[in-house]
Amino acid sequence: MRGADKVEHEAVGRLPVMGYNTWNAYYCNIDENLILKTAKLMKSLGLADVGYNYVNIDDCYSEKNRSASGDIVAHQERFPSGMRNLTDQIHEMGFKAGIYSDSGWFTCQLYPGSFQNEARDAKLFQEEWGFDLLKYDNCAIPFDEVIREGMVGKFSRMADAIADLAKSSGKPPLLFSLCQWGEEQPWLWAKRFGQSWRTTGDIEANWRSVMNILNRNSFITWATDFYGHNDMDILEVGNGDLTYEEAKSHFTAWALMKSPLLISTDLPTVSKETIEILMNEEIIAINQDPVVGTSISPFRWGINPDWTSNSTHPAQYWSGESENGTVFMLLNTLDEPRDMSFSLTESPWTRAGRQYSVRDLWTHTENGTAVRNFTAHAVPAHGVVALLLKDAGDEPSGIYPPCARTEWCMSENGTRYDQQM
């Protein structure tokens, strides 16, 4: 790894976005008073203090038709004060502001899209309205004979408009969040355009949906780094049918896999338990790590053979690097509690012959020292354990067998331990 100072410099503006998005909580039932009330609650609840610094408006904010001059027009009843007044107030509170559009003729709710108006809309969103981020959707796709582009070309139109605007204005470009859904494998190409890219369809507020998204993302964790992030969609913590343990698992997986963390709950009614989940600073610190930008990845599937796709029982044993140690996530996908054990050297990020101190990132306790193996006892049904392991020196002498992984374990004289068993 290169020096931390250089890596941190390169990571500026490339950490996963944290903030709020209106869609899952309110759908089209939005207005300027709701947006400002939400921003104020993010401050009063302490969410802003732990890093949630974007307030993003999703679909349905505009009139159904463009103006006579061709511009998108803010909905006159829902946003009577205008978007610039709204973003000014959001910025005054210390937040950044996000807006939404679509790469097709219309948005998904049939408001004006940005196809063939990319430069005009990019300038409107950033220069005139004062937004900092653009979520860009994938509905109302023009006929092939009109667009004459593949998926890459369709999204490059707005990416080019954003880049051209930044060049002419001298200002930082809009952060570009592609909402392409995953069928065209955006993790293979979207990094050249945007800060993040959606990897699946929309999330639903239930355990099955969370597990399906986690399963699909378990095979593409390699695509996430400081240059862009697999976007696993908006957080459903506090919504729908998710239990407390399921909400913890959902939040942990999204955070440790370096997905953007966008809350979308009705904040005036949110529970204390939900806020505590969303404000777990030790989990957030892994998501916002300034030195390591990569996701955790599975090292063992558990219930299924490794590399098995299973939308209800995805990979259960995960690990990854962090600035301060090795991160482990143990996910119990079963419907009853179970013990979950692993050998330290199953992870590529721990060293043979060393012992590790164990920090539990949910109980916020030090859980002793792990030598060779670790067992989490009675992990709740649909629950999660998140650990940070730090090197604590050489393991005690005399431990037998001589290798934690016995295959081809060999002494200096050429004797193989695994053949002596």
What pLDDT, on a 0 to 100 scale, did the predictor assign at position 180?
Answer: 87
Q: Which helix (H) or strand (E) holds 24?
A: helix 23-26
What pLDDT, on a 0 to 100 scale, did the predictor assign at position 182?
Answer: 75
Q: Is 63 exposed, middle or buried (0-12, 13-18, 19+ CB in 10 A)?
A: middle
Q: Is residue 251 over pLDDT 50?
A: yes
Alpha-carbon distance 321 to 326, whole Å? 5
Kindly state the DSSP code that residue 188 receives in the 8-state scheme.
G
Q: Against a cut of 0.75, is the pTM above it?
A: yes
What pLDDT, on a 0 to 100 scale, did the predictor assign at position 181?
Answer: 82
Alpha-carbon distance 293 to 227, whole Å? 8
Alpha-carbon distance 133 to 182, whole Å? 21
* 250 touches 213 (CB < 8 A): no
> Does residue 196 come out as left (phi exceeding 0), alpha (psi in the -120 to 50 range) or beta?
beta
What pLDDT, on a 0 to 100 scale, did the predictor assign at position 9?
Answer: 29
What pLDDT, on a 0 to 100 scale, did the predictor assign at position 4?
Answer: 38
Name the one residue in this structure whose structure tokens are 């957030």.
284
Who's near 48: CB < 8 A, 6+ residues apart?
A: 42, 93, 94, 95
Radius of gyration of the chain (CA): 23
pLDDT tens, residue by residue, 101-130? 999 999 999 999 999 999 999 999 999 999
Tell whether domain 18-288 is in CATH 3.20.20.150.
no
* 205 touches 24 (CB < 8 A): yes
Please name the amino acid found at residue 374. Answer: F
* 244 touches 250 (CB < 8 A): no
Name the one residue in this structure whose structure tokens are 């410099």.
9
Please name the amino acid found at residue 387. Answer: L
Name the one residue in this structure whose structure tokens are 């101190």.
357
- Residue 137, both tokens: 């959707």
- Is 49 an active-site residue? no
- Is 202 an active-site residue? yes
The single residue of 31, 202, 266, 360 carrying the catalytic annotation is 202
Please work out, in degrees rounded to the nearest 5, the angle formed at the alpha carbon of residue 231 by the alpha carbons of 134 and 22. 55
Tell whether domain 297-394 is in CATH 3.40.50.12780.
no
- Residue 244, both tokens: 């407390």
What pLDDT, on a 0 to 100 scale, did the predictor assign at position 1?
Answer: 32
The single residue of 58, 137, 233, 289 carrying the catalytic annotation is 137
- Residue 281, both tokens: 């600073």
pLDDT tens, residue by residue, 358-380? 999 999 999 999 999 999 999 99
Name the one residue in this structure whose structure tokens are 């991160």.
327
All structural domains of the chain with their residue ranges: 18-288, 297-394
- Residue 218, both tokens: 């378990």
pLDDT tens, residue by residue, 158-195? 999 999 999 999 999 999 999 988 778 999 999 999 99
- Residue 344, both tokens: 């330290």
